[in-house]
Structure 1
Amino acid sequence: MIPLSRLGFGGAPIGNLYAEVSDSDAVGALEAAWDAGVRYFDTAPHYGLGLSERRIGSFLASRPRDSFVVSTKVGRVLEPCSSGGDDLANGFAVPARARRRWDFSADGVRRSLESSLDRLGLDRVDVAYVHDPDSHFEQAVSEAIPALVSLRAEGLVGAVGIGMNQWEMPARFVRETDVDVVLLAGRYTVLEQTGASLLELCASRGVSVVAAGVFNSGLLARPEVGSTYDYQAAPAALVERARRIASVCTRHGVTLPQAAVQFPFRHPAVASVLVGVRTAAEMRANASALSASVPDALWEDLRAEGLL
C-alpha cells in the first residue's frame, strides 16, 4: 500500500490550466502545500504539455526521495511539433510545442513513463495511473495495465492505478485487472455520490481510492449561478442543490468548502483527497478546510433532508 498524505496536491492548475500561472506562484503553491504537510503530488504529461511535471520535479529535487509520493499518468504521448500558437483548445495556456497522441500500447506506456521521469527528474514514480481511457478500454486493459504491472515489478512504478472522471469503467478495471489504486474525479462528493458502488468494490478488494474533483470543478466552492460543474456551466438544479447543502452547513458553523474537502473521508476506501491549486493562498485555504471541525450531526442532517 502506497502511503498517501490525506491531502494531495493536484498538479493541473500549475500546468497553466485555463490561465497562466507564474513560476513564483507555482512555487509558492507547492511550498504552501509542503508546509501544510502535503506529501502526495499528482501530475500528468497532459497538464500543460509537461509543464506541471517539470515544476513539481524541480520543487521536489531538494527533498529526500523517501519523504514524498509522486503520481503521474500514461495514455497521452507527447510528440514535438512546430505548429506554433497555444494549447488553449486543450485547456492549457502554454505554447503548443508538442501534440498529444492517445496511446495505451505497451510501448507507448513505457515511452510515456520514461519521458515523465525525465521531466520529473526521478528514477521512479510511486503511482502510475492509466489516464482517461474512456474510448480505449480494450487496449488499456490488454496492454497498458500489463505494461504498468511489469514496470511495477521492475521498480520503476510503485503502484498501478486508473484515473477517470467516471466510475463505471474504473469498476471494470478493479474487477478485471491488478490495479492498486483508483483516482476518481467528481463522482464521490458532498454534491454527488454516483461512485459509491465503486468505492464499496474497492474497499472489498483492498484497492485505495484517491478522491479528486471534490469541488465538482467549482460549484462546491461557490454555489452560485455562473459556477462550473464538470468544467461546464452548472445546471440551475445543481446550483440550487449546492445552495441547500451550504445552508445546512451554515447551521452547523461549517462552510461548504470545509464539508466538500472532508466528505470523501466518510468512506473507508478513500485514502487521500486531491485539490488542485494555483496559489499559496488557495493551498492554505484547502489545508485549513481539511483541519476544520465538522460535526457528525451535519452529515445526519444532510441525509435527513435528502441531500446525501
Structure 2
Amino acid sequence: MILGCASMGGLYRPITEEEAHAALHTAWELGVRSFDTAPHYGAGQSEEYLGAFLRTKAREEFTLSTKVGRLLYDDPAAKDGAAGFFGAPRRSRRLDYSAAGVRRSLDESLERLGLDRVDVLLVHDPEDHMPQALGEAGPALTALRDEGLLSGWGVGTNYADVAERFVREAGADTVLIAGRYSLLDRRAEAGLLAACAEHGVDVLAAGVLNSGLLVDPQPGAPFNYAPAPEWIVEAAQRMAAACERHGVSLRAAALQFPSRHSAVTEVVTGAGRVDSIRDTVAQLAAEVPAELWAELDELVPDQGRLP
C-alpha cells in the first residue's frame, strides 16, 4: 500500500496540519511506509505537511514519490478551491515539462519537504504536452536516475495510452495509473499492463475506488470525477450485491483487485483521515474468496461505453 497524499493538500475540503499528522501517524502505526505526493496537491501544502511528518522518521524507513510538470509561484490573487483544493496556500500552478523545469521542480519539492532526496519522480498528467514530456522531461529524469539522485522515475496519469508510451518510448521504471485498472474499469489491462509486464515496469494502481463509486454505488455517486451514468451505477450495484452474498465489502474487493495482476506492485489509496486509513488497511487484509473474483469478472461492464 502507498498512501496517496492529495487529501493532505485539502482535496475537496480543508485539512489542518494537525489533522494531516494524525492521519499520517495512524498510517505509520499500521505499517504504511510508502507515500506519494505532488506539488499540485494543495499548491505544495501536501508536500509541506508530509515532509514535516516524515522528518521525524529515519530516512531509510520509508519510500517517497512526488511529481514534476507543475511549477508553483506565490499568487495573492489565487482563489481558494483552485483545482479542487481548499484551504491551501495562495499559489498558482504553471505547467512545465522541460528539462529545466524538471530540475527546478525537484529542487523546490525538496525544499517544501525539508528532505534531501525523494525515491521516485513521476511526470504528472502529461497527456496534453506529450512532445515535451517525452522529449525533455523523460531524458532529464533518466539523467537524474543515472546520477544516483533517484531510484527510478515514471509517469502518473489517468490515461492508459499515455502511460504506455512512456513505457515503450521513454524507458520509464514506474507507472502510476489512476482509475483505469479497477473492478469496473479495466482499460489499462490489455495494452499498458501487458507492456509493463514485458518491460519489467512497476505498476502503481491508483484511483481503484473510481472516485468513490466503489465505496457506495448510489445514484449520483462519482465515477472518473463526475456523476456516474445510471448504467455504470447499476453495474457497481451488481458487484456490491455479489460481494454481500459472499460476506465481503465492495471496498475490500475494489482495493484488492489490482494486485491480482502480476504487473501491479502496489495499490495507491487516497485515504486521508484517521478513520478512512484504518478502514483501508482493514479492507486490504480481508479475505476475498476465489469464487467472488470469478463472479465479479462476469459482471464487468462494457469497456467501450465507459466515459
Q: For the superposition of Structure 1 and Structure 2, which TM-score range results when normalised by the shorter chain?
A: over 0.9
Measure the CA separation in 1 of the matches of 2:299 and 2:232.
15
Q: What letter matches 2:39 in structure 1?
A: P
Using the size of structure 1 for normalisation, the TM-score is 0.95
Q: Which residue number corresponds to residue 54 of structure 2?
A: 60
Kindly provide the CA deviation profile for residues 142-170 of structure 1, in whole angstroms up to 9, marking residues without a partner as x. Answer: 10011111111222222111100010111
Identical aligned residues as a percent: 49
Measure the CA separation in 2 of the matches of 1:122 and 1:73.
15
Measure the CA separation in 1 of the matches of 2:289 and 2:158.
29
Confirm or deny: 8 A CA contact 1:14 1:277 kept in the other structure. no
**DSSP 3-state at the match of 2:126:** coil
Instruction: Please tell me whether residue 101 in structure 1 is matched to residue 94 in structure 2.
Output: yes
**DSSP 3-state at the match of 2:87:** strand
**DSSP 3-state at the match of 1:157:** coil
Q: Which residue number corresponds to residue 235 of structure 1?
A: 229
Kindly provide the CA deviation profile for residues 175-217 of structure 1, in whole angstroms up to 9, marking residues without a partner as x. Answer: 1011100000000001110110211110111000000001001
Q: Which residue number corresponds to residue 134 of structure 2?
A: 141
Confirm or deny: 8 A CA contact 2:184 2:300 kept in the other structure. no
Measure the CA separation in 1 of the matches of 2:298 and 2:214.
20
Confirm or deny: 8 A CA contact 2:6 2:270 kept in the other structure. yes
Measure the CA separation in 1 of the matches of 2:92 and 2:59.
31
Instruction: Please tell me whether residue 177 in structure 1 is matched to residue 174 in structure 2.
Output: no
Q: What letter matches 1:77 in structure 2?
A: L
Q: Show the 5 A alignment for 1:266-277.
A: 266-277=260-271
Kindly provide the CA deviation profile for residues 252-303 of structure 1, in whole angstroms up to 9, marking residues without a partner as x. Answer: 1111000000000010111111111221110000000000011111111223
Query: Residues 152 and 305 from structure 1, CA distance in 2 versus in 1: closer, same or farther, beyond 3 angstroms?
Result: closer
Measure the CA separation in 2 of the matches of 1:183 and 1:85.
29
Instruction: Please tell me whether residue 158 in structure 1 is matched to residue 151 in structure 2.
Output: yes
Which of 29, 37, 40 is 1:35 aligned to?
Answer: 29
Instruction: Please tell me whether residue 126 in structure 1 is matched to residue 112 in structure 2.
Output: no
Measure the CA separation in 2 of the matches of 1:140 and 1:266.
31
Measure the CA separation in 2 of the matches of 1:38 and 1:238.
32
**DSSP 3-state at the match of 1:129:** strand
What residue ranges of structure 2 are gaps of 5+ in the alignment?
A: 303-307
Query: Residues 304 and 216 from structure 1, CA distance in 2 versus in 1: closer, same or farther, beyond 3 angstroms?
Result: closer
Which of 6, 16, 24 is 1:22 aligned to?
Answer: 16
Q: What letter matches 1:30 in structure 2?
A: L
Q: Which moved more, 1:90-99 or 1:241-250?
A: 90-99
Measure the CA separation in 1 of the matches of 2:183 and 2:231.
15
What residue ranges of structure 1 are gaps of 5+ in the alignment?
A: 1-6
Distance apart, 1:221 and its partner CA: 0.6
Query: Residues 84 and 136 from structure 1, CA distance in 2 versus in 1: closer, same or farther, beyond 3 angstroms?
Result: closer
Q: What letter matches 1:21 in structure 2?
A: I
Confirm or deny: 8 A CA contact 1:45 1:52 kept in the other structure. yes
Using the size of structure 2 for normalisation, the TM-score is 0.95
Cα RMSD after superposing both structures: 1.3
Confirm or deny: 8 A CA contact 1:21 1:278 kept in the other structure. no
Distance apart, 1:69 and its partner CA: 0.4
